[in-house]
Chains A and B, each alone.
Chain A
Amino acid sequence: MEPVDIGIAVSLGLLVMVVLGMRVAFAAALAGLIGLVWIFWSKKGYDPADFGWALSVAVKTAGQVPHSKVASQALSLIPTFILIGYLAYYAGLTRALFEAAKRWLGWVPGGMAVSTVFATAGFAAVSGASVATAAVFARIAIPEMLKAGYDKRFAAGVVAAGGTLASLIPPSAILVIYAIIVEQDVGKLLLAGFIPGVVSALIYAALIMGLALTIRGFGPPVRGFTWGQRLHALRPALPIVFVVMTIVLFVYNPFGGDAWGTPTEGGAIGAFVVFLMALWHGMRWNQFKDALLETAKLSVMIFTIIWGVLIYVRFLGFADLPGAFSDWITSLEQSPMLTLVMILLAYAVLGMFMDAIGMLLLTLPVVYPAVMALNGGEFVSAADSTFGMSGPMCAIWFGILVVKMAEFCLITPPIGLNCFVVAGVRDDISVQDVFRGVTPFFVADAVTIAVLVAVPGIVLWLPGLA
């Protein structure tokens, strides 16, 4: 068998293992390891005497991956942002945000769900990790929605979908990871995520209001808050603004001076500010320990998937599957826009079976150069380009599209991390329940993607000013 055929065979094997219920991280690592043994042994013509050699080389090759891939500054943002999420929970910030959103927006049709979406969007401005956002709002927003009479599946779905906003609205771990993989300007990418994140939240809200108007007994609006109560609710939510300002000052100083640090430092400093607030709010060692354990658990789950998938990716490298794919994409004789749309669709399919970061790590080294080539190369001017934007702008635009696709994959079955996290927090809600409740948001996400593809200005306006 040719290496590419081995690549395809092992990939099918991985799919079978995942469907059979093997834990995804280990299934990917095992598939990768088996594939490596196969590749090395095939190089020696399957001579039984060489099997031991092939096994040893494969095991040692795979054994490098966990340490070498995980010891990365870019990935350090993930646990930091997860910690922010839990600390903000103990600092009472998430509850304050939700309460304020409820009093201001609860009166619209589907008010509690709309409030949840805008509270998650507001929280997204301090949280850079979608899973952590989903985890903390599952504790706060779901009970309130259940009390108001919402279907528990839908309530869980709103939180799972709202949580994804944290990856578009800056700060965002996944945008930084994209920037680092493709070597683009981190600051501009973060800036570019802002408007698409807001658009995405508005489309979610529109969808909820549409559902509330058409479905009987959907969940009543929450009325009766006085202006005094509304203004009163803003005060406890104000510290969020302070944290946002701190993080912003690290990326860009609006007062004209130097910024205070780099985006990765900004994330960590934001966490520190929230930590102080949580202390102020009365967090004690036991709660702090809980926050640390929750952070460790969620982080290790994500990192295990990352290195597991990367062992599989290492095998794909030896099988030269990425090379074959790249050749195929560039040889297509069709309109580049159609190719781009097909790539996004492929992400939707792949995203069903993968974690968001694993997916980016797996695909970008292959897909990004192909997309840049479609547009006319890295240094192309807007006038000479296919999509009407310069090389660096195309990198930003594609980055936002890919990150939106990655968010989408956080809520699609069978492997939708946000849904697992929400179900993990609420023991009365199964993973299947969350997947059912989140289904309407697929439509919203499809609309958002279409808008971002059709009107690149939404993405490029803000970074274009900088």
Chain B
Amino acid sequence: MAALAPVLEDTSLLSRLDRSLYRLERVLALLSGLAVFGLMVLAVGSVGGRHLFNAPLPGYVDWIQQAMPLIAFMGIAYTQRDGGHIRMDILIGALRGRLLWAAEFVTTFAILGLMVLLVWGSWAHFQRSFDFTAPMWSRDSSFDINLPLWPAKLLAPVAFCVLCLRLALQLWGYGRAFVLNLAEPVAVPLVRSAAEMAAAEAEHVSGADS
């Protein structure tokens, strides 16, 4: 399956960093996918336990709530790398050259600012649930079977830190494109130009796709 917006690669330091980070992001995203699979297995276990042994999984709901942050956060940088977080590109799609890179730089910078603040905020949220002196280090626990919540809460600032790294790389990419006035910079998701789309269309006349 093709990505919505392609990310170009070359041998520059930026591109190498981009690909290294991408490998990490992919592993995290796969973790998130495995957590979805885990949800499924959990349900099978709960239902199976109830029907076969009259022993349902205690705290089934609590365990689901523990798994959800894995699913929701771990792939966030992976998705940002490929330009998968949706946006309205009617306006930005019409821009070209330096104006485009400047616009991308500004919105990416705003997102980086936001995410740095959210790393702070979500870390504070984690800290309130964590106490080194308490049993299981727990100062906040789940409703039914009293699971400690701090590991799940820690996932948010961790994933957001990786996203901040990704955003910093993209800022570098857009900044470089602006300064050098590049047409096809590496390490950033590109908005497809009409010409590229026409070319891609030509490749697809057969309609064969899988």
Asked if chains A and B are in direct contact (CB within 8 A), the reply is yes
B-contacting residues of A (Cβ < 8 Å)?
Answer: 17-26, 29-30, 33, 59-64, 66-68, 70-73, 75-76, 79-80, 82-83, 139, 142-144, 146-147, 260-261, 264-265, 267-269, 271-272, 275, 289-297, 299-301, 303-307, 414-415, 417, 420, 423-428, 430-432
B residues 138-165 near A (Cβ < 8 Å) are: 152-153, 155-156
A75 to B72, CA, bound (A): 10
Among all A-B residue pairs, the 6 with the closest Cβ atoms:
A63-B121, A292-B33, A268-B43, A21-B92, A427-B2, A303-B72
Residues of B within 8 A of A144 (CB): 207
Scan B39-79; emit 1 where CB is below 8 A from any A CB, else 0.
Answer: 11111101100110000000001001111110111111011
Interfacial chain A residues near B42, Cβ < 8 Å: 268
Contact B78 A420 (CB under 8 A): no
Tell me the smallest distance from the CB of A220 to a CB of chain B, in Å: 15
Alpha-carbon gap, A305 to B114, bound state (A): 14
Residues of B within 8 A of A73 (CB): 61, 64-65
CB distance from A463 to the nearest CB of B (A): 25
Nearest-CB residue, chain B, relative to A31? B114
Over the window 183-208 of chain B, the binary record of Cβ atoms lying under 8 Å from chain A Cβ atoms (1 yes, 0 no) is: 00000000010000100110110011
Which among B9-17, B103-111, B174-182 touches the partner chain?
A: B103-111
For residue A175, give the distance in angstroms from its CB to the closest CB of chain B: 18
B30 interfacial contact with A, CB 8 Å: yes
- Rounded to whole angstroms, the CA-CA distance of A300 and B79 in the bound complex is 7
Residue B117 interfacial (CB < 8 Å)? yes
CA distance A144 to B90 in the complex (A): 29
Q: Do B85 and A66 touch (CB < 8 A)?
A: no
Q: How far is the CB of B113 from chain A (nearest CB, A)?
A: 8
Complex interface: chain A residues within 8 A of B64 (CB):
73, 76
Complex partner residue of A414 from B29, B71, B88, B114, CB under 8 angstroms: B88
A142–B2 CA distance with the chains assembled, in angstroms: 15
Further 4 A-B residue pairs, CB within 8 A, beyond A265-B43, A423-B4: A22-B110, A63-B118, A269-B43, A275-B37
* Complex A-B: 22 CB contacts under 8 Å: A21-B87, A24-B87, A29-B114, A30-B113, A33-B117, A59-B117, A62-B118, A63-B120, A64-B122, A71-B152, A73-B64, A80-B36, A290-B1, A292-B33, A296-B71, A296-B74, A297-B75, A300-B71, A303-B71, A426-B2, A428-B204, A430-B192
CB-CB under 8 A from B20, the residues of chain A are none
Chain B residue numbers with a CB within 8 Å of A63 are 117-118, 120-125, 156
Known: A21-B87, A59-B120, A420-B86. A143 touches B207 (CB 8 A): yes
Neighbour of B88 across the interface among A19, A62, A66, A291, CB < 8 A: A19
On chain B, the residues within 8 Å of A414 by CB distance are 88, 90
Task: Say whether, besides A71-B68, A304-B85, A83 and B114 are in contact (CB < 8 Å).
Answer: no
B76 touches A67 (CB 8 A): no
* B3 contacts A by Cβ under 8 Å: yes
Q: Is the CB–CB distance between A21 and B88 below 8 Å?
A: yes
Q: How far is the CA of A19 from the CA of B80 in the complex (A)?
A: 19
Residues of B within 8 A of A432 (CB): 90
Residues on B facing A (Cβ under 8 Å)? 1-4, 26, 29-30, 32-34, 36-37, 39-44, 46-47, 50-51, 61, 64-69, 71-76, 78-80, 82, 84-93, 103, 107, 110-111, 113-115, 117-118, 120-125, 152-153, 155-156, 192, 197, 200-201, 203-204, 207-210
Residues of A within 8 A of B88 (CB): 18-19, 21, 24, 414-415
Taking a contact as CB atoms under 8 Å apart, the answer to whether A143 and B209 are in contact is yes
Within the complex, the shortest CB–CB distance from A74 to chain B, in Å, comes to: 10
Task: Tell which of A147, A293, A306 has the most Cβ of chain B within 10 Å.
Answer: A293
With a cutoff of 8 Å between Cβ atoms, the chain B residues found around residue A293 in the complex are 26, 29-30, 33
Residues from chain A with a CB closer than 8 A to the CB of B79 are 297, 300-301, 304
Q: Which of A17, A22, A59, A71 contacts B65 (CB 8 A)?
A: A71
Least distance between A76 CB and chain B CB atoms (Å) = 5
* In contact, A296 and B75 (Cβ under 8 angstroms): yes
Contacts of B74 in A (CB 8 A): 296, 300
Instruction: Give which listed residue, B61, B110, B207, contacts A147 with CB less than 8 A.
Output: B207
Known: A20-B91, A269-B44, A304-B85. A72 touches B65 (CB 8 A): yes
* Nearest CB in chain A: distance from B62 CB, A: 9
- B156–A66 contact, CB under 8 A? yes
Q: How far is the CB of A219 from chain B (nearest CB, A)?
A: 13
Measured in the bound complex, the distance between the Cα atoms of B118 and A29 in whole Å is 9
Contacts of B71 in A (CB 8 A): 76, 79, 296, 299-300, 303
| B44 lies within 8 A of A424 (CB) | no
With both beta carbons as reference points, the residue of chain B lying nearest to A305 in the complex is identified as B86
Whether the Cβ atoms of B153 and A296 lie closer than 8 Å is: no
- Chain B residues near A21 (CB-CB < 8 A): 87-89, 91-93, 103, 107
The distance in angstroms between the C-alpha atoms of A426 and B200, with both chains bound, is 10
Residue contact A67 to B44, C-beta cutoff 8 Å: no
Chain A hits for B117, CB < 8 A? 33, 59, 62-63
The answer on a CB contact under 8 Å between A271 and B40 is yes
Which residues of chain B are near A83, meaning CB under 8 Å? 36-37, 40
Partner of B121, one of A22, A62, A142, A420: A62
B39 touches A80 (CB 8 A): yes
Best-buried of B32, B153, B210 by chain A (most CB within 10 Å): B32
> When chains A and B are docked, how far (Å) is the Cα of A142 from the Cα of B90?
24
